Structure 1
Amino acid sequence: MSMKAKMIVDKDFTIGEVDKRIYGSFIEHLGRAVYGGIYEPGHPSADGQGFRSDVLELVKGIDVPIVRYPGGNFVSGYNWEDGVGPVELRPKRLELAWRTVEPNLVGLNEFVDWCRKANSAPMMAVNLGTRGPEEARQLVEYSNHPSGSYWSDLRVQHGYRQPHGIKTWCLGNEMDGPWQIGAKTAVEYGRIASESAKVMRWVDPSIELVACGSSSLQMATFPEWERTVLDLCYDDVDYMSLHQYYGNRDNNTANFLAQSMGMDSFINTVIAACDYMQAKKRSKKKIHLSFDEWNVWYHSNDADSRIEPWSIAPPQLEDIYNHEDALLVGSMLISLLKRADRVRMACMAQLVNVIAPIMTANGGAAWKQTIYYPYMHASVFGRGTVLVPLVDSPKYDATDYTDVPYLDAVAVHNEAAGEATVFAVNRHLSEALPLEIDLRSFGAFRVLEHLVLESDDLKASNTQDAPNRVAPHSGGNAAADGSAIRAELAKASWNVIRVKLA
C-alpha cells in the first residue's frame, strides 16, 4: 500500500457557504456548566454579575456565534419563570433530569447578558415536555415583544427595557427519548411542535424554529420519527435537529477515529428524510439541519453513576479529553463542513466543564482541553465557501467501517480575506502521510502556516497542572510547489494549512 494521498480543490466547485452558526455551542443547567463554569461570583476573575472573565476570554478565543440554552434534558421540566425577577425570590427546585437541585441564580436575562459579553447569541429552547404552546408563546413575548403587554412589561419591570430579540428557538429536546420528562410519540410531538410554532410566530414572525429529530441514529424511532414529525409541522419549522455522541469504550482507536463516517451517513439520511417530505408536500421550502448536540462523550460515565443526588452543581459529565478525542472532533467538524449546504447550525455539547472544550477549577484556573484546538481552528479559519474535496487516499478496514480513508480533509475558501484553509486529519496511528494538495484553479499563492496538533501519546490530556501537554504548534512542513502544496501529515494528527491567495 502506497502511503501517500492527494487532494484536489477547485474554487468553482463549491458545496455551500458556511453559516457561522455551525460553530455554535451549548450551555445547560447541568453539572458545573453554569455554576462554577460560566458563573462563579466568588471567583477572583468574576465580574459584577458573577461571570468568570477568564472563561469568557477562552470562549471568545473560539469565536462562538450562538449558544443553545437552557437544555438539553433539563428544559423538559423547566419553568422559565423561576429564573427571572429578583434573585432572592427565585425558588430552588428538584431537577429531575439530572437529579440535582437547581437554585435558579442564573436564568434567561442573565444568560442573555452573558451571551453579549461572549460576543454570541442565544439559541433558546422551550419546554414541550411538561408544558406547551401557551408557555412557549409567553416566553417569546417576554423575550422579544417591545412593551405594552403583560409579559413584555414584566421584562421591563425586571430591568430589561429593550427586548432581547432572540431569533433562534428549539421546540423541545430529544422528545422521543424515554429518559425525557414528558417524552412523546412522533404524532404527539409533531402536533405540539406545530401548535407551539404557530403561536410563537404569531407573537414574533421573525423567529426561526428547530424541530426535534430523533435523539440519535441508534434510536428505534429513527428515521421514521423525522418523517412523521415533518408530516405534521413541515410548514411551521425551519430546521430539523440531530444529536450524536461517540466514545472509545473498547479502546479501539482505529475504529474510534472512523466514527465520523457514521456521522456523514446520519446527516445524509436526515437530509433524505427532509427532502422526501418536501417532495411529498410539493413544497418550495427546504428544511435545513441543526446538529445541535455533538461531541465525544464516554469518559465520565462511571464517575457520574456514583454522584449523590440532590446536590447543587456536582461535577457531572466532566470528560477529560485526550489526543485521540481531539482527532475525532476534528473529523466531526470536517463532516459538518462537508454538508455546509444543509447543516446551517451546530452546537458542540457543551462549552464549559460538561463534556466541554473548557475546564475550570472552582475558585481556581480555567484551561483548554485537547478538543478546544480543532474547534477553535475551524471556527476562526473555517469561514467562507466550502469546496468539494476530491480525495485519493489509502484506506483501512475497522471493526464497524470498511474503506476508511487515512486522510479526512476539507477546504474552505474565504474570498473576502483572500485565503484558503485546508483542515486535515491523518488517521494512521503509526505512519506519517505525504499529501499533495492541487490548487491549480487559484493561481499564485503562498503558505501562511501549517498548524499541527500531534502527540506520541494518544491518551495524553491537558490538566490544571499541565494545561499545555497537548497543544498545537506551527511547525508543519507544508510548502508551495508550483500549483500544489506538498506536506507530510504526522501520524495521528490534526492539521490546518492556511494559504494566502494572490
Structure 2
Amino acid sequence: MAEKAKMIVDKDFTIGEIDERLYGSFIEHLGRAVYGGIYEPGHSDADENGFRRDVIELVNELQVPIVRYPGGNFVSGYNWEDSVGPKEERKRRLELAWRTIETNEFGFNEFVDWAKKANTEVMMAVNLGTRGIDAARNLVEYSNHASGTYWSDLRRKHGYEQPHNIKTWCLGNEMDGPWQIGHKNAVEYGRTALEAAKVMKWVDPSIELVACGSSSRQMATFPDWEATVLDHTYEHVEYLSMHQYYGNADDDTPTFLARSLEMDDFIRTLIATCDYMKAKKRSKKKLSLSFDEWNVWYHSHAADRKMEPWQIAPPQLEDIYNHEDALLVGCMLISLLKHADRVKMACLAQLVNVIAPIMTSNGGGSWRQTIFYPFMHASVYGRGKSLVPLIQSPKYDTKQITDVPYLEAIAIHNEEQDEVTVFAVNRHLDSSLPLEVDLRSFGACSLIEHIVLEHDDLKAVNTEQQPDNVKPHPNGNAQVDGFKVQASLVKASWNVIRLKV
C-alpha cells in the first residue's frame, strides 16, 4: 500500500483521564467460568480455598481492577441468600437462564475472597427479575453495614467480621430483553430501579449504581429504553450500562474488523441520550457510561444449541478465539479509549472459559487466548490520559460499512511514567501500512519498544497443546526521529508503540 497513514497528537488536547475500571471483566455463574475456572477444589494448583492459582496469576497479568458478578442473565433468578453460610446447608437450584443446576458451593463471600486474592474490586449485581428492592437492600446491608443488625450480624456469623464495602452495584441485568427472567418494559424497570436505588443508598450512601441500558444497539427499543429509564433514575444513578457482542459467522473479515465503528456510534448515541435527559431535568449532573459487557461471541453457538440441560457447570459459550478476533478486540479497546471522558467502566465478558481471554481444562492447565494480548497491553500500558487522535488514513468499503479507515489508533499519555503509548490496528488484510505519528508538543522522544501481534493465518488459535501459536513479539520496526515516529504496520496486526517523552 503506497498511501501513508498519519496521526497527530498534542499533550494538551485530551479526551479525558482514563478510569482504571475501563479494564474490568466479568464472572457469571455460567458454564465453567466459576466451577473449573476460578474455582476447582482438588486441582493440583488450587489453594486452601479451592481457587486456581494459575488462573489468578493470569488475571494478575491482565491487571483487572474490577470484576462484575454474579451475572449476567444468571442474576435475574439469583437468590443471594442461597449462596452464603455453611456450604452443606446451601440449596441446589435449577438455573433457568442457562438451563443448568447451580450448587451454590461457590457463593457471594467466596467471590469476595477470590477478588481480594486476584487484586481486584467487586462490581455486584442485584436481582431485579424474580426479586426486587427488599432483597437488594438486604444484600447491601449484609455486605456493607458494620454490625448490629440482622443481616450484618449474619455476615459476621458467617466468618466476616469486617464489612465487604463493595462500592459499585448494578441494578439488574438486560431487563429490556424478552429472554430475561422477569423481563420488564422501560417504565416497569425504571420504577423498580428507582426504588431499589433509593433504599440501597439509604443503607449505604457511599455506593455507586449502574442502571440497565439496552442489551445491544440492535434492540428495537433502543434508545427509547434509555430515555425512559433515565427519566425515572437520572438523579439516583451514576452510570448507564451498555452491552455489545460481535461475530463473523458470514466470514466477512473486512466487515467484521469494521464493527468497532458501530461501537463508536453506539457510544455516541448513549452520550447524546444521557445529555438530553440532563437538559430535560435541568440537572447539573453528567452521567457516565459502564460498557459492562463487550467482546466477540459467535464461535460456540452451534455447540451450545446441542447441550443437554440440567448439568452442573458444563462447557458453555467456550469460544476459541483466533487472530482476527484479537484484532477486533484491539479495535474495540481503542473505541473505549476514544470515549474515556464518558465511558468510565467496562467489563470484557467474560474472564475465564466463557467467551474469555483465559482458558482452562478441568484438572489440567490454563492458557492465554489470542484476545488476552490486546486486552493485557491496553490494561498495562493504557493508563493516564487519552489524547485526541487527528488521523489521516486510506479507507475501504465493505458490503455493510463504508469509509472504514485501515488505521485504527489512539495515543495515551502517562505523565507519571513520562510515556506515550500508541495502540494501532492495521485492518488491511494484504498490505502493510506506513504510519507517521507526529508528537511535536512533547519534544524529542525515544523508543521504548514496538510490540506486534501478527499471524499469517487469520483463523489461527491458541490451544492447551499450542498455547503460544498466536503471541506478540517485540520486534516491530518503529523508529523515532526527534518528535516523529515512523513505522510500517504489518498487515492485519495489533501494535503497541511505547515512547519515552
TM over 0.5: yes
Task: Please tell me the residue identity of whatever aligns with 1:473.
Answer: H
The 5-angstrom pairing of residues 388-427 of structure 1 reads 388-427=388-427
Per-residue CA deviation, residues 374-420 of structure 1 (Å, 9 max, x unaligned), is 00000000000000000000000012211000000000000011101
1:24-75 CA-to-partner distances (Å, cap 9, x unmatched) read: 0000000000000000001100000000000000000000000000000000
- Indicate the residue corresponding to 2:336 in structure 1: 336
Partner-residue secondary structure (3-state), 1:175? coil
1:99 is matched with which residue? Answer: 99
Q: Distance in 1 between matches of 2:63 and 2:495?
A: 19
| One-letter code aligned to 2:180 | Q
Distance in 1 (alpha carbons) for counterparts of 2:482 and 2:190: 56
Match of 1:327 in 2: 327
Please name the residue that 1:139 is paired with. 139
Report the alpha carbon displacement of residue 3 of structure 1 after superposing the two structures with TM.
2.8
SS in 2 for 1:243: strand
Cα RMSD, aligned residues only? 0.5
Query: Is 1:313–2:319 an aligned residue pair?
Result: no
1:162 matched to 2:154:
no
Matched, 1:230 2:230: yes
Amino acid paired to 2:43: H
Asked whether the 8 Å contact 2:76–2:173 carries over to 1, the reply is yes
Rounded to whole Å, the distance in 2 between the matches of 1:30 and 1:311 is 11
Q: Within 1, Cα distance between the matches of 2:489 and 2:113? A: 42
Q: How many residues align?
A: 501
Distance 1:480 1:49 in 2: 50
Partner of 1:23: 23
Structure 1 counterpart of 2:73: 73
Q: Structure 2: how far apart are the matches of 1:301 and 1:435?
A: 38
Q: Is the 8 A contact 1:2 1:394 kept in 2?
A: no
Tell me if the contact between 2:323 and 2:457 (Cα under 8 Å) persists in the aligned partners: yes
d(CA) in 2 for partners of 1:212, 1:112:
23
Could you say which residue in structure 2 is the equivalent of 1:108?
108
Q: How far apart are the structure 2 equivalents of 1:370 and 1:459?
A: 10
Q: Deviations over 1:122-154 (max 9, x none)?
A: 000000000111100000000000000000000
Matching residue's letter, 2:48: G
Equivalent residue runs for 1:48-63 within 5 Å: 48-63=48-63
Per-residue CA deviations over 1:313-356 (Å, capped at 9, x if unaligned) read 00000000000000000000000000000000000000000000
CA drift at 1:2: 3.9
User: Does 2:430 match 1:430?
Assistant: yes
Contact 2:443 2:482 (C-alpha < 8 Å) held by counterparts: no
Q: Secondary structure at the match of 1:170?
A: strand
Return the alpha-carbon distance in structure 2 between the equivalents of residues 410 and 281 of structure 1: 34
> What's the secondary structure of 2:447's corresponding residue?
strand
What SS does the corresponding residue of 1:270 show, helix, strand or coil? helix
Give CA-to-partner distance per residue, 1:142-198, whole Å, 9 cap, x none. 000000000000000000000000000000000010000000000000000000000
For 1:457, the aligned partner's letter is D
Residue 260 of structure 2 corresponds to residue 260 of structure 1: yes
**Identity across aligned pairs (percent)?**
74
In the TM superposition, residue 445 of structure 1 has moved relative to its aligned partner by: 1.4
Q: What is residue 374 of structure 1 aligned with on the other side?
A: 374
User: What secondary structure is seen at the aligned counterpart in 2 of 1:25?
Assistant: strand
Query: Partners of 1:487 and 1:34 in 2: how far apart?
Result: 42
For residue 205 of structure 1, give the secondary structure of its aligned residue in structure 2. Answer: coil
1:482, distance to aligned residue in structure 2 (A): 2.2
* 1:442-457 pair list within 5 angstroms: 442-457=442-457
Query: Secondary structure, in 3 states, of the residue corresponding to 2:41?
Result: coil
Counterparts of 2:29 and 2:330, CA distance in 1: 26
Deviations, residues 214-272 of structure 1 (Å, cap 9, x unaligned): 11110001000000000011111110000000000100000000000000000000000
Q: Is the 8 A contact 1:91 1:104 kept in 2?
A: yes
Structure 2 equivalent of residue 82 of structure 1:
82
